[in-house]
Amino acid sequence: MTDLTSGRETLEDVSMAVFCGGFSNSDVFGSAKGWAGGFLYNDKAKTSLQNFFARKDTLSLGVCNGCQLMMELGLVFPEMGDNHPKMHHNKSGKFESTFISVTIPENNSVMLKSLKGTTLGVWAAHGEGRFVLPEAESEYGVSAKYIYDEYPGNPNGSDYNAAALCSKDGRHLVMMPHLERTIFPWQNAYYPFAYRKNDVTPWMDAFVNAKVWLRNQGQ
């Protein structure tokens, strides 16, 4: 962010942007609003971001706090304008940290579509992880779903049990669970014994898919 706001970085030679999880602008709920302000109220950072998302050869991923940022800035569904959904507090009213199961439906996401039909464990840790989606499910490119309707299987109360959404063209993905924290078998709270010999979990496919897509774009 310092590089973007100062103009040292413009993202012109960047092909994939990952807005990472964790906390930004202090360890409090709503912190992504402060991060979003860093883009909205700085002309250099705002222009760099707009130019990046205007390109057709880029990918982006927002995880947890990064998901909140992308939703706050309206980057996933720009065609919705002011009706772009945003994140809400968990229905439980508290921070949820848990290892949960999600299923990957048929989807258009560059990163997740090859995983369709799989059910995977993944870590989640958030206080504002609820997707409130007033339109039909098909409008939001739901790319991962919690396998249970009720709490705590759906830890935040998201509409359609949505754990991940992607843009209409599949290039921009946001998700609340932390796929990057569940890459290696030993990182999982539970992992089937038969698969523990594997070096990585199926979540690694998301990043392999991104690399292949970018290579096909000549990146």
Tell me how far apart the alpha carbons of residues 119 and 134 are, in angstroms, rounded to a whole number.
26
88 as an active site residue: the answer is no
For position 28, what pLDDT does the model report?
A: 63
C-alpha span between 57 and 185 (Å, rounded): 32
Q: How high is the pLDDT of residue 167?
A: 98
Q: Which of 72, 96, 128, 180 is catalytic?
A: 180
List 12, 64, 96, 150, catalytic entry: 64
Query: Pick the catalytic residue: 67, 128, 166, 178?
Result: 178
pLDDT given at position 29: 64
**How many CA atoms within 13 Å lie on the side-chain side of 122?**
29
Residue by residue, pLDDT tens for the chain (219 residues) are 999 999 999 999 999 999 998 877 665 667 688 899 999 999 999 999 999 999 999 999 999 999 999 999 999 999 999 999 999 999 999 999 999 999 999 999 999 999 999 999 999 999 999 999 999 999 999 999 999 999 999 999 999 999 999 999 999 999 999 999 999 999 999 888 888 899 999 999 999 999 999 999 987
Do residues 144 and 113 touch, judged by C-beta distance below 8 A?
Answer: no
DSSP 17-65: EEE-SS-SSSSSTTHHHHHHHHHHT-HHHHHHHHHHHH-SS-EEEEETH
* Whether residue 20 lies in the annotated active site: no
| pLDDT the model gives residue 32 | 87
172 included as an active-site residue: no
Q: What does the pLDDT read at residue 218?
A: 82
Element (H, E) at 2: helix 2-6
Q: Is 144 helix (H, G, I), strand (E, B) or coil?
A: strand
At 195 the pLDDT is: 86
**Length of the chain (residues):** 219
